[in-house]
Amino acid sequence: MFLRRRIAAFAVAGGVLFLAGCGGAAVPSDGPLGIHPRPDAGMDALIMGVLRTDAGCVRIESPTGAGEDVALTFPSGDAEMDGDALVWRGDTYVDGEEVFFGGGFSAVDGYLPDGCRGLELFVVSPF
């Protein structure tokens, strides 16, 4: 609950609907990075927190450590893992780094690693 309040404090109300598109690279079927088909539009909420790339799931760590981590899923073709580092839009992010991403909380078709199952899902916008 604390994480939701923290996220809500940083959220920007989004009026853009998330629409699944057909373009972009193929969605993988393994690895620690959640991937969804590249959409034609995206949401514009903001999530901030500590990036975690361990335990088979790329996620934002709960500030309370109470198991309220949030799994991240990225548009197909926009992100990849380089060892334990996340590479997104040409920038490299490492485990333990404070990060922020635009997007929104939503269910989405695509690939979600087993280590992310059961976590709330934040869909990173390609824009």
Residue 91 domain-assigned (yes or no): yes
The kind and range of the H/E element at 71 are strand 70-75
Residue 114 domain-assigned (yes or no): yes
Question: For the chain, what is the radius of gyration of the CA atoms?
Answer: 13
Residue 25's pLDDT band (cuts 50, 70, 90):
low
For residue 17, is pLDDT > 60? no
Please give the tally of structural domains in the chain.
1
Counting residues of the chain whose pLDDT is more than 90, the rounded percentage is: 54
Q: What residue numbers bound the domain in which 35 lies?
A: 2-15+31-124
DSSP H stretches of helix in the chain: 2-10
Residue 24 domain-assigned (yes or no): no
Residue 22 domain-assigned (yes or no): no
Residue 23 domain-assigned (yes or no): no
For residue 111, is pLDDT > 70? yes
For residue 64, is pLDDT > 90? no
Residue 26 domain-assigned (yes or no): no
Residue 86 domain-assigned (yes or no): yes
Predicted pLDDT of residue 28 = 58
For residue 59, is pLDDT > 90? yes
Angle value at C-alpha 66, between 109 and 36, nearest 5 degrees: 15
Query: Are 73 and 47 in contact, with CB atoms under 8 Å apart?
Result: no
Stretch 38-55: mean pLDDT: 88
Residue 57 domain-assigned (yes or no): yes
For residue 10, is pLDDT > 50? no
Separation of alpha carbons 105 and 119, rounded Å: 11
Separation of alpha carbons 42 and 92, rounded Å: 22
Angle value at C-alpha 42, between 112 and 80, nearest 5 degrees: 45
Predicted pLDDT of residue 108 = 82
Which carries the bigger pLDDT value, residue 89 or residue 29? Answer: 89
